[in-house]
Amino acid sequence: MFSCNSVYVAARSLSCRATMALEVVQALVSDNGLGIITLDRPKALNAMNLEMDSLYKSYLEGWGKSEKVKAILVQSSSPRAFSAGMDIKSVAAAIKDDKKTTLVSKVFDAEYTLICQIARLKKPYISLMDGITMGFGIGLSCHGTFRIVTERTVLAMPENGIGLFPDIGFAHIAARSPGNGAVGAYLALTGARINNPADALFSGIGTHFVPSENLTLLKEALLHTDFSSDAYGAVHSVLSQFTSSVDSEASLKRLLPSIVSCFGGGKSVMESIAALKKEQMSSDPKVSEWATGALTGLAKGAPFSLCITQQHFHAVAAAACNMDNELQEIEGVMKMEYRLALRTAIRDDFIEGVRAVVIDKDQLFYNLVKMSPGHERFLPDISFCYKHPRGSSQRVNITVHHIKIFQI
């Protein structure tokens, strides 16, 4: 029987989560019209849960309409991390208890509508990507106008390793990366980390390099900037005072021919693996080392996730210059990713991936890199993820200039 006490406990729990969100997603508007969001959940590396997503979104909705707010700055209270991404432990736990849990659709709906909101903001959006910035952390920052990296920035999309796929619209970002999207595909498939400013800028993920020692001065200057006439120009002017040139050439730039050879042109996962094994034989030790690292990254990915990633990123890259293809726009990409996310999250790969990689840290998925050539027939069938289930009641609302309702 459903007791009054259980209703009270549930309501109290909801109230506590909402209060927690207010404490860890802090917002204020300065006198000069700079709206500031500060993530303050350092012990969890600012991992975002549903309540935090919803609160963040509400701030942007209000500020987007407010004439008082001229520009938006997002930051972390800790130099260790901007955001490590989604709070995957709580989502995996809910799915383990009940595969029909509504938390899955609510979380992805909140994340993906927030990403579209950021991408379509009509005001400068400045993200300080200081420290670890992964997964949804990249989603919160890299769809905005000004993406600041420091020498402490660590970027990665490691979702294949936990049985999901690199979502948060990263395929949209990757499609515009060097090598006609090959660099982005490489980062997505292997989960490779970018930990130097030169590569962050070359990949297109970052727009400006500001040494961490200058961040306080940068924020102080933004708080005293007049945004009233030309907000974008004002931000550019301030950033020019604190931006530094990188002290080395991007390694991704030096490796671009090999990256294109292994991950360009829509190569399948098995074709990429074969190409990487050839690159391992290169007389250039840098190339050989890179290929070995890329193979190690692929070996950590769930086969199902790798196949989803390859097909999705190739489709988005192919659509990048086709104005008639809905995957050319961020809303189209997020519509597709919502469909994929709901199907991949409830697979056992995700629950096992979170347990093995995040909680117990004791094992990896079956290693595709060790699969013999010609065994492609054993690769997982991912076609069902792309099918439109007629009569489905699951929808995601993408709010931009008006509400668009996308059926999965």
User: What SS3 class is residue 261?
Assistant: helix
- Digit-coded pLDDT (tens) for 109-140: 999 999 999 999 999 999 999 999 999 999 99
First and final CA of the chain: distance in angstroms?
35
What total of structural domains would you count in the chain? 1
- In one letter, which amino acid is 408? I
Q: Is residue 370 part of a domain?
A: yes
Q: Is residue 9 part of a domain?
A: no
Give pLDDT, residue 321: 79
Is 36 within 8 Å of 73 (Cβ atoms)?
yes
Range of the domain at 155: 23-407
Q: Is residue 18 part of a domain?
A: no
Give pLDDT, residue 115: 97
DSSP string for residues in 62-95:
HHHH-SS--EEEEEESSSSEEE--B-HHHHHHHH
Give pLDDT, residue 365: 59
The three state secondary structure string of 277-313 is HHHCCCCCHHHHHHHHHHHHHHHCCCHHHHHHHHHHH
Give pLDDT, residue 363: 65
Give pLDDT, residue 408: 35
Number of neighbours of residue 98 by Cβ within 10 angstroms: 10
Give pLDDT, residue 320: 85
Q: Is residue 113 part of a domain?
A: yes
Give pLDDT, residue 98: 93
Give pLDDT, residue 180: 95
Give pLDDT, residue 148: 98
CATH number assigned to the domain comprising residue 247 = 3.90.226.10
Q: Is residue 53 part of a domain?
A: yes
Q: Is residue 11 part of a domain?
A: no
Give pLDDT, residue 324: 82
Q: Is residue 127 part of a domain?
A: yes
Q: Is residue 70 part of a domain?
A: yes
What parts of the chain have a pLDDT lower than 70?
1-18, 363-380, 387-408
